[in-house]
Amino acid sequence: MKPKSKILIIAGSDSSGGAGIQADIKTVTALGGYAMTAITAITAQNTKGVFGVTPLSPKDIEKQILVTCADMKPDVVKIGMLHSSQVILSVLKVIKKIKRKIILDPVMIAKGGSKLINKSAIKTLKKKLLKESFLITPNIPEAEVLTGVEIKNTKDMIKAAKFLIKIGAKNVLVKGGHSKSNLLEDVFLNNKEFKIFKNKKIKTKNTHGTGCTLSSAIATFLSCGKPLKRSCELGIKYVNQAIRSNLNYGKGHGPINHLNSIKVKQKFL
């Protein structure tokens, strides 16, 4: 089967395969797209935590993007972990030349709690990259860092989303996966549209890589011609199915099953 679109993924590598570049590639492939990559950092991690992060230089990251895009133009760009201000500015400089829609997943903290980005990089992301992105997909802790809003409920999520729009975001999806409620709510917002996606919480510890997976799924649906709000809806459905499969690999926060939805791919697309 010929892929329907090409997605350029700029993110860190996860040696356990549950998140990062590995999760992105699996997601894009499972949903019928063609994944290209620019690795920003190499992490040594498993389901129990992150044991090492080796960042790549801005020049090395930039070269990956330029060489790849000079040969194969992506339809959409998905950005994950960018570990420093220098990397963010370097990536932004190159991405502006490509002129493609950017789905930004502002990865800051690993599932086990390890920090993956420094304070200076957070400020640069907020001031520079956020405004250039078509969609930003923070989870609750990330939205709190970016906005200063303490999020305890859906009302707070909406407040944080509105703040992100106010400071320059075009479209925002605040993910409710960290909520303690049995009903998960994801808040989608822009200057014209507002939607709360509601789903029953699936009780499992195996949710490693859900954020990476969701943003890549949205990027793939969007690249295939789906409207953004519909792409978010379908991406959430894909992730929920992948969680429900409950692989139970590893002794900590295990990965989700990216291949679970291949058989229903045509239903989505």
Q: Per residue in 140-165, pLDDT tens?
A: 999 999 999 999 999 999 999 999 99
Q: Any catalytic annotation for residue 175?
A: yes
pLDDT of residue 263: 52
Residue 158: what pLDDT?
A: 97
Picking from 35-44, 78-87, 163-172, 175-184, which range would have the lowest pLDDT averaged per residue? 175-184
Query: Which residue among the candidates 12, 20, 80, 209 is catalytic per the annotation?
Result: 209
201 is a catalytic site residue: no
Catalytic residue among 211, 224, 226, 235: 211
CA quadruple 123, 43, 216, 240: dihedral positive or negative?
Answer: negative
Q: Does CATH place domain 6-268 in 3.40.1190.20?
A: yes
Is the torsion defined by CA of 162, 164, 169, 173 positive or negative?
negative
Catalytic residue among 37, 101, 212, 235: 212
Q: What is the pLDDT of residue 180?
A: 77
* Angstrom distance (rounded) from CA 116 to CA 43: 10
Any catalytic annotation for residue 210? yes
Q: Are strands 34-46 and 6-14 parallel, antiparallel or unpaired?
A: parallel
Annotated catalytic, 40? no
**Which residue among 175, 226, 235, 254 is the active-site one?**
175
Q: What is the pLDDT of residues 120-133, one digit of tens each?
A: 888 999 999 999 99
Select which of 27, 147, 210, 213 is catalytic. Answer: 210
Residue 106 has pLDDT above 90, yes or no: yes
**Average pLDDT, integer, range 242-254:** 90
Q: Residue 7's closest CA among 223, 268, 209?
A: 223
**pLDDT for position 162:** 97
Active site residue 101: no
Cβ atoms of 160 and 149 closer than 8 Å: yes
252 as an active site residue: the answer is no
pLDDT reported for residue 157: 96
Average pLDDT, the chain: 91
Annotated catalytic residue: which of 47, 207, 213, 220? 207
pLDDT given at position 107: 84
CA atoms within a 13 Å half-sphere pointing along the CA-CB vector of 136: 29
Average pLDDT rounded to a whole number, residues 48-73:
94
230/266 Cα distance (integer angstroms): 15
